[in-house]
Structures are given as structure tokens and as C-alpha cells.
Amino acid sequence: MTNVAGKNAETVRRGYDAFNKADMKTLNELFDDNVSWHTPGRSALAGDRKGREAVFAQFGRYGGETAGTFKAIMQTVAETDDGRVIATHHNTATRKGKRLELDSCLVFEFKDGKVYSGREYAYDLYAWDEFWS
């Protein structure tokens, strides 16, 4: 997978930047009102969220439960022929004396130029769950 240009890929790049800066104004511009989000695993953070408010509350938990240390540093981004975007990133955070260092992947779907669906995939789901437990 390589970094590629494309309207949706650029939206994802802007989204990662906004997420890491807690720039809610930009995130509101990029996410559809009815966005859905899936976080894998068995921790308290796992599950499905529906609607921008619920999805942003999930994002807030990442920052809130790590005292603002949670980051998702984008590594690659690729846009498929049908407009979906696949992005890989490296998560870092500290929480309750634990350190998170984990590669992950997100698959984004778009509707009318905005993120309509996001699905997270952790390369080591056991480490992800252990960090959030």
C-alpha cells in the first residue's frame, strides 16, 4: 500500500491531523451526521457507535482515558476505485502505568464527500484490549 492522492484520501489525511490536534471544528466538517464507527475487541471501548455525537464521544474517550496522550500517527493511505480509503497508523498512549505502541488500520467509507463509516482493525487485538482494561 502506498500514499496516493484522491479527494477521499485527502479528507482522511485532514481527519488524522484534526484528530491528533483535537480540532473538533475540522472533524465536524469531515464527518457525516449519521456516521457509524466500529471499535474491535472486548474492552469497554469496543463496539459500534452511530451518529456523529456518539462517534466523537468515542474519540473523546481515547483522549480522556489517556490524559491526552493517545495519538494515531498515519503511516499510509490508499483510496480504492470505489472511493473507500484504507489508512494504516501507529497508536501511542499511556494509561494506568501501561504504554500502548500498536499498529492499526482504518477503513473509511464516504457519502457526499464526508466520512460515513469507519472500522478500526488492531494488528494485535490482545494488546489493544489489555491496554484499555
CATH number at residue 61: 3.10.450.50
Angle at 100 between CA 78 and CA 104, to 5 degrees: 20
Neighbours of 68 (CB within 10 A): 11
pTM, entire model: 0.92
Residue 2 lies in a domain: no
Q: How many domains does the chain have?
A: 1
| Domain carrying residue 70 | 7-132
Q: Is the pLDDT of residue 4 over 90?
A: no
The residue behind cell 484534526 is: 18
Residue 1 lies in a domain: no
Q: Is the pLDDT of residue 1 over 60?
A: no
Spacing of C-alpha 121 from chain mean position: 9
Position 6 scores a pLDDT of 86
CA distance 45 to 36: 15
Position 3 scores a pLDDT of 54
CA distance 58 to 75: 22
